Amino acid sequence: MRRILISLVVLIALLVGADFGLAAFAEHTVSQKARQQLSLTDDPSVTIHGFPFITQALSGHYGHISLSANGVPIKDLKDVGVNAELTDVTAPLSDLANGITSAISVGKLEAQVTIKASDIAKIDPLTKVEDLRIEPSSIEYVQTGQDASDSGTTKSSEEDQDKSKAGIRVSGYLQIAGQKIEIFCFAMIELHGTTIDIIPKRLQYGNDKETTVVPQAVQQALLPNFKASIDTGNLPFEVTPTAVRVSSGSVTLKGEAQNVTFGGR
């Protein structure tokens, strides 16, 4: 009985090891294809969820695959982060075994594309702003200079997130009358198709601890320095962005796609 139990444990260990080995091979195959598709220098991270893997492989159907990559070049942007969740994926085992991914189809794909402030700073006319920084801001504060809590009303911050527009605070230094002055610009960031528009509303001098509203005449002269459009071109996996969110140091687009092929870009 002891020998039988030992043999069973060894057999199970071998089967589990083989299962993980097959999963790693499939993940590597998909990763290499994604590397080519996204024009990357390194393989992205690919995870095929679910255990055991072999039952999914034999059926050619995978419930959930995750993919993440950094440094993705999109249009004029050079360091974009991409995270994608693929569900209801069909991939014939014979194709994966031969390194062929053209037949992979995805029932539903949810993607997030993150653009860093360092990339946004390279878009004209934001190139005039030294040490450009990005922080989230509520839409109400952008429009009125007053938060909902200041006015005695309550409003969920989630209402300003994951939609086609959001509040953003862009700060940095501008040369004004021969002096380098820190400027805070409160703007709307709006999503129009695959283009992100930054629409400045008002400016403040100073820093996080103490700020002064810029006189209206000066605002009219300085606001155009913060107005910009960012063309994201054709996003990976045929995704059309439907929501934009601002985080500290970055802007993230969210989108979904239905019934796409893995080779689509």
Query: pLDDT grade, residue 154 (50/70/90)?
Result: very low
The residues near 184 (Cβ < 8 Å, ≥ 6 apart) are 169, 170, 171, 203, 204, 205, 206, 211
Higher pLDDT, 198 or 231: 198
Distance between the two ends of the chain, CA-based, in angstroms? 57
Instruction: Please determine, for residue 197, whether its predicted confidence score (pLDDT) is greater than 90.
Output: yes
Summarize pLDDT for 201-243 with one digit per residue, the tens.
988 876 555 556 677 777 788 888 899 998 887 677 667 888 9
What global pTM score does this model have? 0.77
Note the pLDDT of residue 160.
45
In the chain, domain spans: 2-103, 118-251
pLDDT digits (tens, 9 = 90+) for 172-195: 998 877 788 888 999 999 998 888
User: Above 80 in pLDDT, residue 149?
Assistant: no
**pLDDT tens, residue by residue, 14-27:** 565 666 777 777 78
Cβ-based neighbours of 100, under 8 Å, separated by 6 or more? none
Percent of the chain with pLDDT over 70: 79
Mean pLDDT, residues 244-263: 86
* Residue 152 pLDDT greater than 50, yes or no: no
